[in-house]
């Protein structure tokens, strides 16, 4: 028995400033980043009966890279507990945010865009369109104890 799996993914590499209230229990912020977005469709063939789910074969069906910008904001809320460290207590926080991803025009595959032909070959039907979207963030953050002083 073999399992064929196909996945459509977007990978972001972004950098940019974050403007945030420097202290307090509620710390609102705004972000603006630029970078690249990588759209990729991959397929893998797995042994359904084998242990560990190792790939027998895999391939990248289609990919595209585009310049992108991400703009957003949110709030970081201090949690009522800290994590002990040798440099003193480390703060923890809950983060809620929203991001607008501006990717522009890009080519990508959607479900049904890979056509299997009777002779065993395939035909790809990529879509070229604006690929902008909104994402929502719910996160947990832990501060770094760097430069906080502590025992010498």
pLDDT digit string, tens, across residues 60-95: 999 999 999 999 999 999 998 888 878 778 889 999
CA dist., res. 105 & res. 14, Å (int): 18
152 in any annotated domain: no
147 in any annotated domain: no
135 in any annotated domain: yes
Note down the domain range covering 135: 2-142
25: left (phi over 0), alpha (psi -120 to 50) or beta: alpha
Two tokens, residue 109: 């595959």
Contacts of 102 (CB under 8 A, 6+ apart): 68, 69, 70, 71, 132
24 in any annotated domain: yes
The pLDDT, as a whole number, for residue 91 is 86
- Tell whether the torsion through CA atoms of 64, 112, 127 and 9 is positive or negative: negative
80 in any annotated domain: yes
The pLDDT, as a whole number, for residue 101 is 96
The pLDDT, as a whole number, for residue 98 is 98
- Paired with 150 in beta bridges are none
Question: Would you tell me how many other CB atoms lie within 10 Å of the CB of residue 78?
Answer: 16
84 in any annotated domain: yes
150 in any annotated domain: no
Two tokens, residue 77: 């809320």
Domain tally for the chain?
1
32 in any annotated domain: yes
Q: What is the pTM assigned to this prediction?
A: 0.76
Local structure of residue 51 (DSSP, 8 states) = G
């Amino acid at each position: 028995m073999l399992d064929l799996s196909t996945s459509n993914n977007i990978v972001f590499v972004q950098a940019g400033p974050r403007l945030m209230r420097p202290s307090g229990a509620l710390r609102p912020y705004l972000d603006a980043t630029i970078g690249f977005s990588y759209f990729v469709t991959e397929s893998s063939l797995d042994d359904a009966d084998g242990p560990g789910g190792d790939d027998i074969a895999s391939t990248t069906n289609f990919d595209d890279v585009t310049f992108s910008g991400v703009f957003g904001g949110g709030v970081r809320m201090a949690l009522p507990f800290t994590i002990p460290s040798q440099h003193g207590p480390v703060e923890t926080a809950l983060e809620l945010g929203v991001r607008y991803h501006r990717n522009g025009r890009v080519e990508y595959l959607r479900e049904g865009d890979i056509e299997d032909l009777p002779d065993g070959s395939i035909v790809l039907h990529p879509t070229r369109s604006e690929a902008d979207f909104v994402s929502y963030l719910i996160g947990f953050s832990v501060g770094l104890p760097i430069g906080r002083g502590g025992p010498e």
